[in-house]
C-alpha cells in the first residue's frame, strides 16, 4: 500500500515530534510511509504534489485550517484523503469521526474504509467546510493565533487593528431570499459540523463593543453562539457581504484569514470534496 502523510507539527495537539509519532504508529500497523512536515507557505503545492503520486492513503494530521487546505486541493475526485485531528478545536474531524484519538481513527480506516463526501461554502476558489466569519472577530481570532505562535508583537498590532475595525465596520448582507439581514458588523456562515440543515446557515450580529467582538472569535462557534440575543439565522444557498464604505472586510474561513476585499459572495457547494472514514 502506497501511503504518504502530511503532518502539521505547529498544530495544537501534534507537536514538534509529530513526524516521528506518525512514523512509529504506521510502522506498528506494518506500513512504510513517506512523512512530510506541513509548510504553511507552500501548503497547496505540498498537497498537490502528494496527490500526484496517486497514493492509496494520503494522511493529513492537523487542525481545521490544515484540513481545509487539503480538501480544497483534493476536491471531490479524491478517494485517498484521511483527515486526523491535530488542532485545538478539530470541528471538522469530530463531526466526521467522532471524538476519537487520531491513531485510533487511522487504524480503523486502515482496517476498513469508506468514502464520504463533504459539502462546503465557496467564495470564488476559496472553500470553507466549517464556518466563515466576516467582521472584527476575524481580526481578533488572528491576534489569538499570533499569541499561540509566540509572536506577541504581531498580536498587539493585530489587536489594535481589530479594535479599530470593531469601531468602524458596518456590513450589509443579502441572502438571496428577497431581504437583507438586519444591520450588522459581524456576519457568519456555517456549513457541515456547525449547521443543522442542507445549506448555509447565516447569521448577522450587531456586536455592541470591541470586547463583545473579542468574545465572538472563532472558538465561540463550537458552543453557545446560537443562544446569543438577537441572532437571526437564515438558511440560504448564497450570501453577499459588503462594506458600504469600501473598506476591506476581515474574514476567516475555518480559522484561517482570507483576503476577499470589500464585497464578496459565498455560495453553498454540495459535494465539494471527499475524504475517507472508517467503514
Sheet of strand 186-190: strand arrangement: 232-236, 200-205, 186-190, 131-135, 250-253, 256-259
Give the residue among 272, 259, 253 at the shortest CA–CA distance from 128.
Answer: 253
For residue 143, the model assigns a pLDDT of 67
Q: Would you call 275 helix, strand, or coil by DSSP?
A: strand
Long-range contacts of 108-112 (CB under 8 A, 24+ apart): 108/278, 109/57, 109/82, 109/276, 109/277, 109/278, 110/29, 110/31, 110/57, 111/278, 112/278, 112/279
Q: Which residues contact 22 (CB under 8 A, 6 or more apart)?
A: 5, 7, 33, 35, 59, 61
Rg of the chain over all Cα atoms, to the nearest angstrom: 19
- Rounded CA-CA distance 131/42 in Å is 23
Give the residue among 160, 161, 212 at the shortest CA–CA distance from 186.
Answer: 212
Pairing mode of beta strands 81-85, 57-62: parallel
pTM of the model: 0.87
For residue 69, the model assigns a pLDDT of 96
Domain ranges of the chain: 3-111, 128-271
CA atoms within 13 A of residue 106's CA, in its CB half-sphere: 27
- Which residue ranges in the chain fall short of pLDDT 70? 140-150, 155, 159, 161-169, 177-179, 183, 207-231
Domains 3-111 and 128-271 in one fold: no
CATH for 3-111 is 3.40.50.10330
Q: Which residues contact 153 (CB under 8 A, 6 or more apart)?
A: none
Burial classification of residue 7, based on how many CB atoms lie within 10 Å of its CB (0-12 exposed, 13-18 middle, 19 or more buried): buried
Q: Which residues contact 172 (CB under 8 A, 6 or more apart)?
A: 180, 183, 241, 242, 243, 244
- The continuous run of DSSP H or E covering 152 comes out as helix 152-168
- Rounded CA-CA distance 210/161 in Å is 11
Q: Which residues contact 232 (CB under 8 A, 6 or more apart)?
A: 181, 182, 203, 204
C-alpha cell read off for 277: 472514514
pLDDT tens for 27-55 read: 999 999 999 999 989 999 999 999 999 99
Pairing mode of beta strands 186-190, 131-135: antiparallel
For residue 171, the model assigns a pLDDT of 81
Number of neighbours of residue 77 by Cβ within 10 angstroms = 8
For residue 81, the model assigns a pLDDT of 98
Question: Does domain 128-271 fall into CATH 3.30.70.2190?
Answer: no
Amino acid at each position: 500500500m502506497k501511503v504518504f502523510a502530511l503532518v502539521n507539527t505547529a498544530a495544537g495537539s501534534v507537536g514538534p515530534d509529530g513526524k516521528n509519532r506518525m512514523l512509529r504508529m504506521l510502522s506498528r500497523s506494518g506500513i512504510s510511509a513517506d512523512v512530510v512536515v506541513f509548510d504553511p507557505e507552500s501548503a497547496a503545492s505540498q498537497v498537490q504534489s502528494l496527490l500526484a503520486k496517486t497514493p492509496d492513503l494520503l494522511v493529513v494530521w492537523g487542525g481545521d485550517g490544515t484540513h481545509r487546505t487539503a480538501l480544497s486541493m483534493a476536491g471531490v475526485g479524491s478517494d485517498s484523503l484521511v483527515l486526523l485531528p491535530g488542532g485545538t478545536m478539530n470541528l471538522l474531524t469530530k463531526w466526521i469521526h467522532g471524538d476519537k484519538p487520531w491513531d485510533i481513527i487511522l487504524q480503523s480506516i486502515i482496517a476498513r474504509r469508506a468514502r464520504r463526501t463533504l459539502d462546503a461554502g465557496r467564495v470564488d476558489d476559496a472553500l470553507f467546510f466549517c464556518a466563515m466569519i466576516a467582521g472584527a472577530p476575524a481580526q481578533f481570532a488572528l491576534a489569538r493565533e499570533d499569541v499561540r505562535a509566540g509572536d506577541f508583537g504581531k498580536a498587539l498590532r493585530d489587536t489594535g487593528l481589530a479594535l479599530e475595525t470593531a469601531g468602524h465596520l458596518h456590513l450589509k448582507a443579502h441572502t438571496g431570499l428577497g431581504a437583507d439581514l438586519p444591520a450588522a458588523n459581524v456576519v457568519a456562515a456555517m456549513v457541515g459540523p456547525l449547521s443543522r440543515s442542507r445549506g448555509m446557515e447565516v447569521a448577522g450580529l450587531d456586536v455592541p463593543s470591541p470586547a463583545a467582538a473579542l468574545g465572538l472569535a472563532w472558538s465561540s462557534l463550537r458552543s453557545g453562539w446560537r443562544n446569543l440575543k438577537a441572532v437571526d439565522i437564515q438558511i440560504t444557498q448564497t450570501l453577499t457581504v459588503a462594506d458600504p464604505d469600501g473598506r476591506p472586510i476581515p474574514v476567516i474561513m475555518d480559522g484561517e484569514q482570507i483576503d476577499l476585499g470589500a464585497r464578496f459572495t459565498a455560495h453553498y457547494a454540495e459535494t465539494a470534496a471527499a475524504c475517507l472514514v472508517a467503514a
